[in-house]
Chain A
Amino acid sequence: MSIIWGLFFTPEDFVQGNSYRIIYLHVPASFLSQTLYLAMAISSITYLIWRVKLAAYLIIAIAPIGAMTTFIALISGSIWGIPTWGTWWQWDARITSTLILFIMYLGLISLHNSFSNYEKADKLLSWLVIVGAVNIPIIKKSVDWWSTLHQSASITLTDKPSIDSVMLYPLIGSIIGFFGLVICLVLLSSKYQILHREKNKSWVKDYV
Chain B
Amino acid sequence: MFKLEFLKLRKKTRSWLGPILVFWLIMLAYPLTVEFLRDKLEIGFFSVLWIAILISMMLATEDIFSEDYNDGSLEQTLIQNPSFSIIVITKIFTHWLLIGLPISILSFVFSLGTTEDLSLSLSILPLAIISSYIFLNLFVLGNALSLNKGSVLGALVTMPLALPVLIVLGKGLIAIQLDINYQSFIFLLLGSLSIIIVAIPIVVSYVIKAHLE
Contact = CB atoms under 8 A, between A and B. Distances in A.
B7 interface: no
A127 B161 CA distance: 14
Interface in A173-196: none
A208 to B, nearest CB: 31
B8 interface: no
Contacts of B145: 111, 124, 127-128
B160 interface: yes
Interface in B153-184: 153, 156-161, 163-164, 167, 171
Name the interface size band of chain B: 20 to 34
A127 B160 contact: no
A103 B159 contact: yes
A104 B149 CA distance: 18
Nearest to B209: A123
Contact of A127 (B146, B153, B206): B206
A131 B161 contact: yes
A111 B157 contact: yes
B37 interface: no
Interface in A105-140: 107-108, 110-111, 114-115, 120, 123-124, 127-128, 130-132, 134-135, 138
Contacts of B141: 128, 131
B149 A107 contact: no
B206 to A, nearest CB: 6
A104 B162 CA distance: 11
Interface stretch (A20-28, A50-58, A72-80, A92-100): A92-100
B207 A111 contact: no
A107 B206 contact: no
B149 A110 contact: no
B164 A115 contact: no
Contact of A110 (B157, B207, B210, B211): B157
A114 B160 contact: no
A120 B200 CA distance: 19
Interface string B190-213: 000000000110010011001101
Contacts of A123: 207, 210
Select the residue from B145, B157, B199 with max chain A CB neighbours within 10 A. Answer: B157
B160 A93 contact: no
B157 to A, nearest CB: 4
A107 B207 contact: no
B162 to A, nearest CB: 10
Contacts of B207: 123-124, 127
Contacts of A97: 164
A114 B153 contact: yes
Given A123-B207, A127-B206, A134-B161, 19 more contacts: A93-B167, A96-B167, A100-B160, A100-B164, A101-B160, A107-B159, A107-B160, A110-B153, A110-B156, A114-B146, A114-B149, A120-B210, A124-B207, A127-B210, A128-B141, A131-B200, A132-B160, A132-B161, A135-B164
26 contacts: A93-B167, A96-B163, A96-B167, A97-B164, A100-B160, A100-B161, A107-B157, A107-B158, A107-B159, A110-B156, A111-B145, A111-B146, A114-B149, A114-B153, A115-B149, A123-B210, A124-B210, A127-B203, A127-B207, A128-B145, A131-B199, A131-B200, A132-B160, A132-B161, A135-B160, A146-B171
Interface of B: 141, 145-146, 149, 153, 156-161, 163-164, 167, 171, 199-200, 203, 206-207, 210-211, 213
Give 7 nearest A-B pairs by CB, closest first.
Answer: A107-B157, A123-B210, A100-B160, A103-B160, A104-B160, A114-B149, A111-B157
